[in-house]
Amino acid sequence: MTGDPGPDRGGGHRLFAALYDRLGARAERAWLGDRRRELLAAAEGVVVEVGAGTGANLPHYRGVARVLALEPDPAMRRRLRRRALAAPVPVEVGDAPAERLPLGDATADTVVCTLVLCSVADPDRALAEARRVLRPGGRLLFIEHVRGEGRRARRQDRLTPVWRRLGAGCHLNRDTVAAIGRAGFRIEALAVHDDDVPGPAISRPMVIGRAV
């Protein structure tokens, strides 16, 4: 979930990590869990999950060789390790940030980013790293909330400085789809969800897609 452990580098975002699964439980049951499962059906081979948070994606992987689940926040990572023990596929947990992936060039088949590019310190660098580690033809799978339009976009711009402090670095106003294109990816599938997404309108729309 988070790309920067923030000022409390010893313990990470301990309160945020403790509340994260509880606060997101309704959305997971009502909408997000199904979207994760549908998206991750396209994962294959060696998977790198960036900003894996507490491991919400792990139950949904099927038929992959292994998952390298990376989470730099130590409080989130403690919960991630527990969830990894029950995963249906082999999972290795690491602490690297999105901007410095611990893999060689062209060594992964799939990179997964779900609700993380909003909070990484440098999204352009993070996406460049994702492209670097992917083999030719490898896929980036993503679910992200992004900047809206019109009045909502202006509200997101105003609220982002406060939201970042409360939400472990989360930005409301990132144009993540444009950033994926700038990194050299070709988007092969993209769905934009808004009114059907549970939760506050300020953190919508949500985009779900695949890029190569």
- The span from the CA of 47 to the CA of 87, in Å, is 14
- The span from the CA of 152 to the CA of 36, in Å, is 26
Mean predicted confidence (pLDDT) in 164-189 = 92
Q: Per residue in 41-88, pLDDT tens?
A: 999 999 999 999 999 999 999 999 999 999 998 988 999 999 999 999
φ/ψ of residue 159, rounded to 5: -85, -20
Query: Which of 63-77, 158-172, 180-194 comes out lowest in average pLDDT?
Result: 158-172
Q: Per residue in 94-132, pLDDT tens?
A: 999 999 999 999 999 999 999 999 999 999 999 999 999
DSSP 8-state secondary structure symbol assigned to residue 153? H
Q: What percent of the chain has pLDDT over 70?
A: 87
Q: Is the pLDDT of residue 37 over 80?
A: yes
Query: What is the average pLDDT score of the chain?
Result: 89
pLDDT score, position 167: 74
Q: Can you tell me whether residue 67 is helix, strand or coil?
A: strand
Tokens 């982002």 identify what position?
160
pLDDT score, position 169: 82
Give all domains of the chain, ordered by start, each with its CATH number: 14-211 (3.40.50.150)
DSSP readout, 167-195? TTT--S---HHHHHHHTT--EEEEEEE-T
Q: Is the pLDDT of residue 12 over 60?
A: no
pTM (two decimals):
0.88
pLDDT band at residue 10 using 50, 70 and 90 as cut-offs = very low
pLDDT score, position 11: 54
